[in-house]
Amino acid sequence: MALPTPRKKVFKDRVVAIDLGSKSTKAALVKAQGVGKLILESYTIQDTPVLQGGIKPENAPVLASHLKNLLKELGHKPKRMGIIIGISESILRQVEMPARDLSDLRQMIKFASKKHLQQELKDFTFDVFVPGDPANADETESTARSQSPRKVLVGGVRDELIDTLQTACKSIGAGLDHVGIHLVETINAFESADPEVFADETVALVDIGFKNTTISILKQGEMSLNRVLALGADKFTGGLAEALNLGYQEAEAIKLGMPPEIQSMLESQLSNLGQELRVSIDFFEHQQDTPVTQVFISGGSAKSDFIVNSLQTELMIPCQKWNPLSVLDTSGGSFPQIDEDAVQLGGVIGGAVSLVNA
Q: How far is the CB of 255 from Mg ion (least distance, A)?
A: 17
- CA neighbor of 327 nearest in space, from 122, 37, 98: 37
Residues 49-108 within binding reach of Mg ion (CB under 5 A): none
CA distance linking residue 224 with residue 268, whole number of Å: 29
Given ligand ATP, Mg ion, none, residue 212, with its beta carbon under 5 to 8 Å by kind, binds ligand ATP
User: Measured over all CA atoms, what is the biggest interatomic distance in the chain, rounded to whole angstroms?
Assistant: 61
Buried b (16+ CB within 10 A) or exposed e, 113-137: beebbeeebeebbbbbbbbebebbe
CB 281 within 8 A of CB 229: no
User: Segment contacting Mg ion (CB under 5 A): 103-111, 206-214, 241-249, 261-269?
Assistant: 206-214
Could you tell me which stretch among 21-29, 46-54, 99-107, 262-270 binds Mg ion (CB under 5 A)? 21-29
* AA identity, residue 288: Q
What minimum distance in Å lies between the beta carbon of 179 and Mg ion?
A: 15
- Nearer to Mg ion by Cβ, of 209 and 239: the residue is 209
Q: Residue 303: name its binding partner from ligand ATP, Mg ion, none (Cβ under 5 to 8 Å by kind).
A: ligand ATP
In the complex, which residues of this chain contact ligand ATP (CB under 6 A)?
A: 21-24, 86, 209-212, 232-233, 237, 252, 255-256, 258, 299-301, 303-304, 344
In angstroms, the CA 134 to CA 165 distance is: 27
Q: Which of 131, 209, 232, 351 binds Mg ion (CB under 5 A)?
A: 209
Structural contact between residues 344 and 298, judged by C-beta atoms closer than 8 angstroms: yes
21 binds Mg ion (CB under 5 A): yes
Cβ contacts of 245 within 8 Å, gap of 6 or more: none
Nearer to ligand ATP, 23 or 278 (CB): 23
350 lines the binding site for Mg ion (CB under 5 A): no
- The residues of the shown chain that bind Mg ion, judged by CB under 5 A, are 21, 209
